[in-house]
Amino acid sequence: MTGQAVAGGAILKNSAGTKTEPLEAIENLVAGYSGMVFRIAYSILRNHHDAEDAVQECFLRAVKYGRDLEHVRNAKTWLGRIAWTVALDRRAQREATGRCDLTAQQAFAGEDAEDDPLASLPDTRAAQDEELAAKQMQELLARMIAALPEDLRHPLELSTVRELNSAEIADLMDIPESSVRTRLMRARKTLKEKLAVMLEVKRG
């Protein structure tokens, strides 16, 4: 992803100015985990620009560890935990300022509609109706996910990051793996039940 490449370049440029940090270790972290870090940040923030900023902040925090980086037992989950914390902090700041994020309404969707080259092409009425229905469903799911308690919402958001399995999510959240599995089941069950009720009310 271009944004990740730009973020990586900025990180390395900033870290190059410090003589005490092991630049090679930082380069390896950026090369190996920038994609995962971006996806963790995006799973929380649902905004490309904010996620890219979170990636930079995550790795710049890693730079501050300097030579202590060699003592990190598991770089993947360590960076994942930093990325998750940074993203949660940024989301809290965003909500505190009342900023409206359009892409937050597109949880589990792909790129923004305005970036889709097919979006401007003429389409049939049926296809337009399907597209509208899909968008409304995405917005509904996003609101339902946002309304979940944090202990259910956080593992559900992290489960969308393909590099993370349930054991790694457990490490990242500092909870037992069995709790991750249980919370994911509860979160999905809650969403299904709420969605069924809403659809039933709509039909009625």
Q: How large is the average pLDDT for residues 121-148?
A: 74
Q: How confident is the model at residue 150 (pLDDT cuts 50, 70, 90)?
A: very high
What pLDDT sits at residue 140? 83
Tell me the CB-side half-sphere exposure of residue 133, using CA atoms within 13 A.
Answer: 7
pLDDT > 70 fraction of the chain, expressed in percent and rounded: 71
Residue 7 has pLDDT above 70, yes or no: no
With contact defined as beta carbons under 8 Å apart, do 54 and 4 qualify? Answer: no
Q: How large is the average pLDDT for residues 131-152?
A: 84
Residue 130 has pLDDT above 80, yes or no: no
Q: How confident is the model at residue 181 (pLDDT cuts 50, 70, 90)?
A: very high
AA letter at 120: S
At 125, list the tokens. Answer: 């009425």
Neighbouring CB atoms inside 10 A of 55's CB total 31
Residue 98 has pLDDT above 60, yes or no: yes
Q: Which of 101, 94, 83, 99 is nearest to 157 (CA)?
A: 83
AA letter at 164: L
What pLDDT sits at residue 72? 80
Instruction: Report phi then psi at 159, rounded to 5.
Output: -70, -15
Residue 32, H or E segment: helix 23-45
Q: How large is the average pLDDT for residues 47-71?
A: 87
**Domains detected in the chain:** 1-100 (1.10.1740)
Residue 55 has pLDDT above 50, yes or no: yes
With contact defined as beta carbons under 8 Å apart, do 45 and 90 qualify? Answer: yes
Q: How confident is the model at residue 57 (pLDDT cuts 50, 70, 90)?
A: very high
What is the distance between the alpha carbons of residues 120 and 141, in angstroms, rounded to a whole number? 25
Q: Which tens digit of pLDDT belongs to each residue from 101-127? A: 433 343 343 334 444 444 444 555 666
AA letter at 70: E
With contact defined as beta carbons under 8 Å apart, do 60 and 14 qualify? Answer: yes
Q: How confident is the model at residue 168 (pLDDT cuts 50, 70, 90)?
A: very high
